Amino acid sequence: MKSPQLDKVTIPTLLLDVDRCRANIQEMSKKAARSNTFFRPHFKTHQSLAIGQWFKAAGVTAITVSSLQMAEYFAPEWDDITVAFPVNILEIDRINRLARKVKLNILVEHTESLCFLNEHLTAPVGYFVKIDVGYGRTGLPPQAHQRIEELLTFASSVNLNFKGFLAHAGHTYGCRSEADILAIHEQSRKTMVALKEKYQSRFRELVISLGDTPSCSVAEDFAEIDEIRPGNFVFYDLTQARIGSNTTDQIAVAMACPVVARHPERNELVVYGGGVHLSKDRMDGEPEGTIFGRIARSTEKGWGDLIAGMYLRSLSQEHGIIKGPSAEIEQYQVGDVVLVLPVHSCMAANAMKEYLTLEGQWIERL
Amino acid sequence: MKSPQLDKVTIPTLLLDVDRCRANIQEMSKKAARSNTFFRPHFKTHQSLAIGQWFKAAGVTAITVSSLQMAEYFAPEWDDITVAFPVNILEIDRINRLARKVKLNILVEHTESLCFLNEHLTAPVGYFVKIDVGYGRTGLPPQAHQRIEELLTFASSVNLNFKGFLAHAGHTYGCRSEADILAIHEQSRKTMVALKEKYQSRFRELVISLGDTPSCSVAEDFAEIDEIRPGNFVFYDLTQARIGSNTTDQIAVAMACPVVARHPERNELVVYGGGVHLSKDRMDGEPEGTIFGRIARSTEKGWGDLIAGMYLRSLSQEHGIIKGPSAEIEQYQVGDVVLVLPVHSCMAANAMKEYLTLEGQWIERL
């Protein structure tokens, strides 16, 4: 059985299960509401105005992106945008253009960046001080009080407006159990709440913002957290499933890849679908070793369960090599389409120009 | 010291050293000439009509690509194109459109594909039988005489014309010495020459085609090989340098990445430049562990030597984390630009929309 929409697939195509995607949006949106925290979803995963409309339908009014280019793309339909990436002062002209159009927030962690902005901004911008809650990628350690103080000297200058503290607990991606995720989340939450308590008397409107998908998917306690910014949950993927953020039947995208060669003697298929489509993101330490995707069973409606033991074992620029049990491999002919659930949906979606819904509609993205 | 062209860099930008690139083209082109083998370079690495012109200037008249989309892009300027990818029968309409415009060659390894083509082609196409010389990705084993014979039953049907045998010795990418590369090359060459000898009496014009960059860079003996198809050599990269295909001063592209944060306490810089720019291709087993790029010293002309011990240790979607000796890290300020030599130039170039030459010219690509 296969979905009639697969007849539209001639090259690697990212299929989107709209029902799953909208259910993921609904679920996260409801969790934010019952946790009394503001939901500012990260749009770097889907990068699509059309999918953005489904967030609007769920009551979302403000978004997060990871580049000024994405902010420009979303600006015609969204007027409150946080660029959750350390401010790149070389893009000052772009920042100024955007800040004239929308309520723009940026992240700052260096006084030198802030001084530069203070001198060159021509429109008001909100800024968050980026805090490193343990991931070790960007941000100030929460105990770096003097450096934090320095970043507050411009807290309410003409075009700079201090908004609060923002963190990304990306170290949850190393977790393999709910308990591990919750431990990191609780630690991050406490760290951020302590900062809030310290600075709230001086900055009444101070916002603390957290936002990795594992924590937001698993945790229920967001007490005192003003804002969450998860992104990947809109599609989820195999990496998130392994962490424990989602079940595989919540994964809302699958790469449809034409079979171009069969090697039953080594239980392999060659598909058109490579690193330029799925990205080279991988999962090490799986039962099969390193994998680049898993294969779902094609159904009339789209796709169903994962096929046990069937996975993408390697990727070249345009080729993918799929391995699986011989009984499964033998069912595929040249010209059939294999459905690959991605290791990392953000990167796979970024590599593609559009989505094909299971209803046969093409959805554009940045 | 820095190149004045770096002033044009505000976001991750792929710099192209035209002199190095043209020297790489010249060198490979001369080697093909002195080896008396036809040079059909693979254009999947640069994917640029403008760079294609430099190949024309070096006497190149026919090209290789890895998708029909690339063939369409190059078709206005190139009339002899081999798509070195197992034919995807779902793209039959595209094949027919292209075959009406240019001399199109495709790869076949299954009778079912060939039968389909025989029935659906509306314009003449040349086909190569793909041979697996040991890489184990695609192709028929050279000893599969019966399957090869089956693929020759359509050798001169109305729209199908058997051209010869084609192989890609991709297992040279696992080599770490010239001797290892030469051993694989000699084995591949002998395998292909044996096929030529077997079938040449029936097919007078039979072509045998080989083409990985390591073999083509290192080997000198192409006796009886009719055609070579290397691609990566146009830019080279760190992976090829480790294999022994090139020296690092032949690498013709560098990703210019703005510094957005500094963490001297852990000898790290955060740059704007992530997996969406460089791809997630990596090199394991380096002295530093796994790396995603190395840093070259900025010079007035472009870039010079690698900075010892300075490398890209990890990549997120938009972030790159650079590690290096403290004396080097301390020289960078927020707003400076770091020059990253890529692990895999094909994938990095594919992720970018254009090149910036060291003379300040923007060069477009597919």
Determine, yes or no, domain membership for B245: no
End-to-end CA distance of chain B: 33
pLDDT grade for B235, boundaries at 50, 70 and 90: very high
Quick one: A104 and A187 in the same domain?
A: yes
Report CB contact under 8 Å: A89, B136.
Answer: no
Report CB contact under 8 Å: B260, A88.
Answer: yes
Closest by CA position to B229, among listed B251, B252, B209: B209
Per the prediction, chain A carries an average pLDDT of 97
Closest by CA position to B270, among listed B325, B328, B343, B338: B338
Whether the predicted pLDDT of A2 surpasses 90: no
CATH at residue A156: 3.20.20.10
Quick one: B150 and B256 in the same domain?
A: no
Report CB contact under 8 Å: A88, B10.
Answer: yes
Q: Which of A234, A263, A289 is the last residue of a domain?
A: A234
Report CB contact under 8 Å: B258, A90.
Answer: yes
Quick one: A266 and A218 in the same domain?
A: no
pLDDT grade for A4, boundaries at 50, 70 and 90: confident
**What's the pLDDT tens digit per position in A81-109?**
999 999 999 999 999 999 999 999 999 99
Separation CA B296–CA B249 (nearest Å): 10
Give strand pairing partners of A306.
Answer: A296
pLDDT grade for B181, boundaries at 50, 70 and 90: very high
Lowest mean pLDDT among A1-10, A156-165, B214-223: A1-10
Taking residues B299-303, report their average pLDDT. Answer: 95
Output the furthest CA–CA distance in chain B (Å, rounded).
71
Token pair 């009509």 in the structure block, residue: B49
Quick one: A224 and A188 in the same domain?
A: yes
Neighbours of A280 (CB within 10 A): 23
pLDDT grade for A3, boundaries at 50, 70 and 90: confident
pLDDT grade for B345, boundaries at 50, 70 and 90: very high
Separation CA B231–CA B214 (nearest Å): 10
Neighbours of A96 (CB within 10 A): 17
DSSP letter (8 states) at residue B134: S
Separation CA B114–CA B126 (nearest Å): 11
**What's the pLDDT tens digit per position in B268-284?**
999 999 999 999 999 99
User: What is the phi/psi pair of residue A348, to 5°?
Assistant: -65, -45
Report CB contact under 8 Å: A280, B280.
Answer: yes
Determine, yes or no, domain membership for B244: no
Determine, yes or no, domain membership for A69: yes
Determine, yes or no, domain membership for B296: yes
Q: Report the share of chain B in percent with pLDDT over 90.
A: 96
Number of domains in chain B: 2
Confirm if B28 and B324 have CB atoms less than 8 A apart.
Answer: no
Taking the CA of residue B261 and the nearest CA in chain A, the distance in Å comes to 7
Residues of chain A numbered 181-210 and touching chain B (CB < 8 Å): none
Taking residues A68-83, report their average pLDDT. Answer: 98
Q: Which of B270, B317, B347 has its CB closest to that of A275? A: B347
Q: Which of A172, A199, A234 is the last residue of a domain?
A: A234
Task: Quote the pLDDT of residue B311.
Answer: 98
Closest by CA position to B25, among listed B64, B74, B58: B58
Q: Which of B181, B207, B235 is the last residue of a domain?
A: B235
Taking residues A355-363, report their average pLDDT. Answer: 97
**What's the pLDDT tens digit per position in A248-302?**
999 999 999 999 999 999 999 999 999 999 999 999 999 999 999 999 999 999 9
Task: Quote the pLDDT of residue B3.
Answer: 87
Confirm if A311 and A294 have CB atoms less than 8 A apart.
Answer: yes
CATH at residue B337: 2.40.37.20
**What's the pLDDT tens digit per position in A119-155?**
999 999 999 999 999 999 999 999 999 999 999 999 8
Report CB contact under 8 Å: A85, B282.
Answer: no
Strands A227-228 and A38-39: parallel
Taking residues A21-35, report their average pLDDT. Answer: 97
**What's the pLDDT tens digit per position in B101-155?**
999 999 999 999 999 999 999 999 999 999 999 999 999 999 999 999 999 999 8
Determine, yes or no, domain membership for B110: yes
User: What is the phi/psi pair of residue B35, to 5°?
Assistant: -90, 0
Whether the predicted pLDDT of A1 surpasses 80: no
Residues of chain A numbered 41-80 and touching chain B (CB < 8 Å): 44, 66-67, 69
Separation CA A311–CA A112 (nearest Å): 48
Task: Quote the pLDDT of residue B85.
Answer: 98
Q: Report the share of chain A in percent with pLDDT over 70.
A: 100
Task: Write down the H helix ranges in chain B.
Answer: 18-34, 49-57, 68-74, 92-101, 111-120, 145-151, 178-199, 213-218, 238-243, 275-278, 326-329, 345-351
Q: Which domain holds residue B107?
A: 18-235
Confirm if A275 and A317 have CB atoms less than 8 A apart.
Answer: yes
DSSP letter (8 states) at residue B78: -
pLDDT grade for B89, boundaries at 50, 70 and 90: very high
Quick one: A103 and A221 in the same domain?
A: yes
**What's the pLDDT tens digit per position in A200-240?**
999 999 999 998 999 999 999 999 999 999 999 999 999 99
3-state secondary structure string across B297-314: EECCCCEEEEEEEEEEEE
Quick one: A284 and A178 in the same domain?
A: no
* Chain B contact probe: residue of A2, A5, A8, A10 with most B CBs at under 10 A: A10
Determine, yes or no, domain membership for B198: yes
Per the prediction, chain B carries an average pLDDT of 97
Quick one: B300 and B356 in the same domain?
A: yes
Quick one: A8 and A121 in the same domain?
A: no
Closest by CA position to B48, among listed B27, B29, B26, B21: B21
Report CB contact under 8 Å: B270, A317.
Answer: no
Quick one: B183 and B303 in the same domain?
A: no
Q: Report the share of chain B in percent with pLDDT over 70.
A: 100
Quick one: B104 and B200 in the same domain?
A: yes
Task: Quote the pLDDT of residue B322.
Answer: 98
Report CB contact under 8 Å: A44, B347.
Answer: no
* Chain B contact probe: residue of A235, A279, A322 with most B CBs at under 10 A: A279
Closest by CA position to A324, among listed A306, A337, A336: A306
Give burial (CB, 10 Å; 0-12/13-18/19+) of A53. exposed
Quick one: A129 and A276 in the same domain?
A: no
Task: Quote the pLDDT of residue B223.
Answer: 92
Quick one: B145 and B86 in the same domain?
A: yes
Separation CA A336–CA A333 (nearest Å): 6
Determine, yes or no, domain membership for A244: no
User: What is the phi/psi pair of residue A230, to 5°?
Assistant: -65, 155
Determine, yes or no, domain membership for A322: yes
